[in-house]
Structure 1
Amino acid sequence: MAGPQAGAGALRKTVPATTSSTSPTQSLTALQYAAEEGHPVAQFKLGRMYAAGDGVARDDMRAFDYFSRIANAHAEDSPSAPQAQIVANAFVALGRYYLSGIPNTKVKADPDRAREMFSYAASYFGNADAQYDLARMYLKTADASRDDFRYGARWLGLAAQKGQHQAQALLGQMLFNGDRLPRQPARGLMWLTLARDSAGPDEVWIKESYNRAFAKASDDDRASALQMLESWVQGKRE
């Protein structure tokens, strides 16, 4: 992985400001200019735009290229640098592309490469989304080795503690049901409650998992889960 190639001056540049009178075309041009100058924020914004087809025609290869530029130029930036989370998110985006590949392109499905991307963002940058994706890779196979499961559970717990709601939901499911972990219904319900409160409108699986667990939980489990939830919230405030 290439180290930083942009100088300190380039990192201090800002994306050209836009105003309410700026047209979408002008905004896109400004982003493209900043991206070509090596600004990671602009590169990431363009990568997201092309990945989602947001204001531009969807083009996963162009998105992949922008995310790759960030990863290649900033892999060794300090985890405390202002752009660190953008760099980590670029690694996550690349990992997800490598998981499935991009049809009719040179980017083929490569789980090993995906794991490298997630592992780097999870360990070096401490990125919670990467930790969750890495955990899923370790946990997804029913015949996973004991080491794989241990690694997966560890990354899942780290992501959940950082507030990654999908990790909270999966960990909650596993704890509530005793799925390869010692059954702790109250703690599982606590994690599922946190996940439900942060879930997006399309994340129906999280809300359904919470509803099933709540319906099955005893009154004591519900009361204990509420106490754990209050302690969690208080701990985050302190």
Structure 2
Amino acid sequence: MVGRVGASASDGDGVGSALAAASARAPGGPAGAPGAGEGGRGPDWKQAAASTGNASTVVILYRTSSLREIIATSTKIGDPPGMRSHLIHARALPRGVALVVLLAVGACDPAPPPPVAEPPLVDALFDRARQGDAEALEWLLAAAEYGRVDVQYRMARMLLEGAGVSQDSTGLAWLVRAAEQGHPESLALLRSVAQEGDAEVRFRLARMYRRGDGVARGDSAAVEWLRAAAALGHAQARHDLGLLHLTGEGVAPSDSAAAEWFLAAAEAGHAGAQDQLGLLYLRGEGVAQSEAEALRWFRAAAQQGHARAQSHLGQAHATGWGVQPNPAEAVRWFRAAAEQGDVTAQYNLGYMYDLGLGTPRNLGESVHWIRAAAQRGYADAQYYLATEYMQSDPVSRYAWLFLAAEQGHDEAGQVRDDLRRRLTPDQVRRALEVSAELLAPLSAESRRRQ
């Protein structure tokens, strides 16, 4: 037994309110704790501890069916005799104790951690983890998931170095998470690993500079690290360099340079790069125009499940560019892409159902897919839905026309203006209310994508 078993607030030790509350959340709570009077009720040690304002003591309350134990230890003046030894050498770290340790240091609480020094407790858990204690490692992972940047950094080093645990590549993920929060030691270690020739770390650093996560945002630094990763064969880095050359972000715009980077990534099997390369061949941008090459790369990406490439293949089979027209094959590819949420494919699949192309005519399926695209903000689908399926509902028709016109759909604007002259002011008001309701989820999705 460590500390003074049965110590309570009446002894004058006191704990901070956040730590007292943490103890109260422990399994079993403080009911019947030593010092309690009749019926398990005694002095309100939690309130008394909180009122002292003294954060020099952590109370760890652990309860089993046969034992209630309070271990008191200082976290402000250092590691008291016996506490560290107890946590390190106990045969097992009870889950209740571990939980309250983490609650006490703020690792499992949505509120900000209490302003107390907790290194001895964290140190003890790391000591246990290095000796192979799976439960100590589990709770440290919980603290890291909560956002404790210091724990993330130490967890990263332990896993990357295999210090007492199996060497694990997830250590890199923890190192990146800590660095993205501006943790200087994590950022320094990340740069060191990158300079030693780790392609993935170079790519992660590039992404941090592009987003400004934990570092000052800088296009030139991002491009430098992307090139360093690409030089080691990192396919995503090559793909991203291709995109940058298309947009001119941090580099001189160049379709030919974009095509070179997309080709390098595509040959390594990157589906997104294969789709992008197909588009360049289709348009003749940066490469000689070739429908055959475009189809080859679209097919390579589509066979990996890339939704936009599947949609492109559907369009090829529907219109006959590069292949013989095949409506049934078009429907197959449109469906594959539509089921993954590609709005162009959803609209085209609905159109095929409406006209009975490559599939039996089915108005129910047509409305389903065109509405799905319209609800995702696809202007052509919004216009089609309004003009083909809303003839008997002028309010809904006006609402969809309004949304399409707001996106610059010229025909929708003309039809909307003509319809408005035939609606009452109340109908227009209700239509605008419907438009606002339809627009709300679109705005939410747009914010999620940013």
What TM-score comes out, normalization by structure 1 length? 0.66
Higher relative contact order, structure no. (Cα contacts within 8 Å, ≥ 6 residues apart): 1
- 1:59-107 deviation per Cα after TM superposition (whole angstroms, max 9, x unaligned): 33222111100122x13xxxxxxxxxxx1111111111112212xx5x2
Answer whether contact 1:189 1:222 (CA < 8 A) is retained: no
Between the aligned partners of 1:176 and 1:69, the Cα distance in structure 2 is 42
The secondary structure found in structure 2 opposite 1:18 is: helix
1:213 lines up with 2:352 in the alignment: yes
Rg larger for: 2
Answer whether contact 1:139 1:148 (CA < 8 A) is retained: yes
- 1:152-191 deviation per Cα after TM superposition (whole angstroms, max 9, x unaligned): 1111111111211110011112212334532211211111
Q: Residue 130 of structure 1 is aligned with which of 266, 269, 273?
A: 273
The secondary structure found in structure 2 opposite 1:198 is: coil
Q: CA deviation at 1:55?
A: 5.6
Correspondence for 1:88: 235
Answer whether contact 1:185 1:217 (CA < 8 A) is retained: no
Q: CA deviation at 1:13?
A: 9.5
1:39 lines up with 2:198 in the alignment: yes
Between the aligned partners of 2:321 and 2:201, the Cα distance in structure 1 is 42
Structure with greater proportional helix content:
1
Q: How does 1:1-238 map to 2 (within 5 A)?
A: 14=169, 16=172, 18=174, 24-26=181-183, 28-54=187-213, 58-72=217-231, 74-75=232-233, 87-102=234-249, 107-123=251-267, 125-141=268-284, 148-199=290-341, 204-218=343-357, 220=359
Q: Which consecutive residues of structure 1, in runs of 5 or more, have no partner in the other structure?
A: 1-11, 76-86, 224-238
Q: CA deviation at 1:39?
A: 1.8
Distance change >3 Å, CA 120–CA 90, structure 1 → 2? same
Q: CA deviation at 1:218?
A: 4.4
Between the aligned partners of 1:13 and 1:33, the Cα distance in structure 2 is 18
Between the aligned partners of 2:275 and 2:316, the Cα distance in structure 1 is 14
Q: Partner letter of residue 229 of structure 2? A: I
Answer whether contact 2:284 2:290 (CA < 8 A) is retained: no
Answer whether contact 1:134 1:155 (CA < 8 A) is retained: yes
Distance change >3 Å, CA 175–CA 13, structure 1 → 2? same
Q: CA deviation at 1:222?
A: 7.5
The secondary structure found in structure 2 opposite 1:64 is: helix
Answer whether contact 1:13 1:39 (CA < 8 A) is retained: no
Answer whether contact 1:16 1:34 (CA < 8 A) is retained: no
Distance change >3 Å, CA 89–CA 180, structure 1 → 2? same
Q: Partner letter of residue 172 of structure 1? A: G
Answer whether contact 2:314 2:330 (CA < 8 A) is retained: yes
Percent identity at matched positions? 31
Aligned length: 190
Answer whether contact 1:95 1:117 (CA < 8 A) is retained: yes
What TM-score comes out, normalization by structure 2 length? 0.37
Between the aligned partners of 2:358 and 2:291, the Cα distance in structure 1 is 31
Between the aligned partners of 1:55 and 1:197, the Cα distance in structure 2 is 37
Q: CA deviation at 1:204?
A: 3.5
Q: Which consecutive residues of structure 2, in runs of 5 or more, have no partner in the other structure?
A: 1-166, 363-450
